[in-house]
Amino acid sequence: MVLKNKVMKTMKGFALFIMLFTISLWSCHKVDQKELISEPTKTLKDCTIDPSFKWETAKSVDVRLTCGHSGVVYIIPVQGNFIYHKGFLSKGSEYHTKISVPAYIDKVKLRMNSAVHEVSIIDNKLVSSLP
């Protein structure tokens, strides 16, 4: 009987420990979540925006390309499986077009007849002479 009581006491203690441990873990988790999604204290009314800022998530890029031979040029992302632009370049004449890319993109690739060249966008301009 004494032994049974001892066992019961030990089991109760263990259950209490598990319960407190679980609660403590859960509490920690809640704090983490809160930190993760802490909202900005500022609202739009309070912010200072430069009048020249256009609120644009993309930029329009002037494209100027020349090539020593004719063919179809693809303007493609450095990473990603889509095409910014596709058109026919004539040997000896400058090809003009415009593309739109996300504002944070500063490089694209040019593909022509399977040759691929990486080109930088500088001051919203993409200029390249393909071989």
Partner 1 sequence: MKTKHSYFSLVLMIFLLIPVFGIATTRYVSLAGSNTSPYTSLADAATNIQTAIAVCNDGDVVLVNDGSYLLSSNVSITIGITVQSMNGAEFTIVDGNHLTRCFYIDNPNALLKGFTIQNGYNPFDFGGGIDINNAGTVENCIIQNCQARDGGGVALDYGGLVQNCIISNNIASNNGPEGYGGGVRLLNGGEIRNCEITYNSSVYLGGGVNIWESGKVKNCVISKNTCPNGAGIRTRNNGLVFNTISYYNNGTNYEVSGSGYYYYNCCTTPALSGSYSSNCISSEPMFVSIISGSEDYRLLSGSPCIDTGMNIEWMNTVPDLDGNPRIVNGTVDMGAYEFLAPVSPDSDGDGILDVDDDYPTDPTRAFNNYFPASGFGTLGFEDLWPAKGDYDFNDLVCDYQFKTVTNASNIIVEMFGTFTIKAFGATFHNGFGFQFPDDHVLSSDLEATGSNLQSGTYITLNPNGLESGQSRPTIIVYDDAFGLMPHPGSGIGVNTCLYAPNVTPVTLEIHLDFTGGSYTIEDVNINQFNPFIIVNKNRSREVHLPDYPPTSLADQGIFGQDDDNSNPATGRYYRTQNNLPWAINIYESFEYPVEKSEISHAYLHFIEWGESGGTLYPNWYQNIVGYRNDGNIYHH
Site map for partner 1, 62-91, x if CB under 8 A? ------xx-xx----x--x-xxxxxxx--x
CA distance 64 to 94: 7
Contact between 34 and partner 1 by CB under 8 A: the answer reads: no
31 versus 49: smaller Cβ distance to partner 1: 49
DSSP notation for 16-27: HHHHHHHHHHHH
**DSSP 8-state assignment for residue 55:** -
CB 70 within 8 A of CB 89: yes
Contact between 5 and partner 1 by CB under 8 A: the answer reads: no
CB atoms within 10 A of CB 75: 22
CB atoms within 10 A of CB 106: 11
Q: Taking the complex as a whole, how short is the minimal distance between the CB of residue 61 and partner 1, in angstroms? A: 9
Site map for partner 1, 91-110, x if CB under 8 A? x---xxxxxxxxxx------
Residues in contact with partner 1 by the rule CB under 8 A:
36-40, 42-45, 47-58, 60, 68-69, 71-72, 77, 80, 82-88, 91, 95-104, 113-118, 131
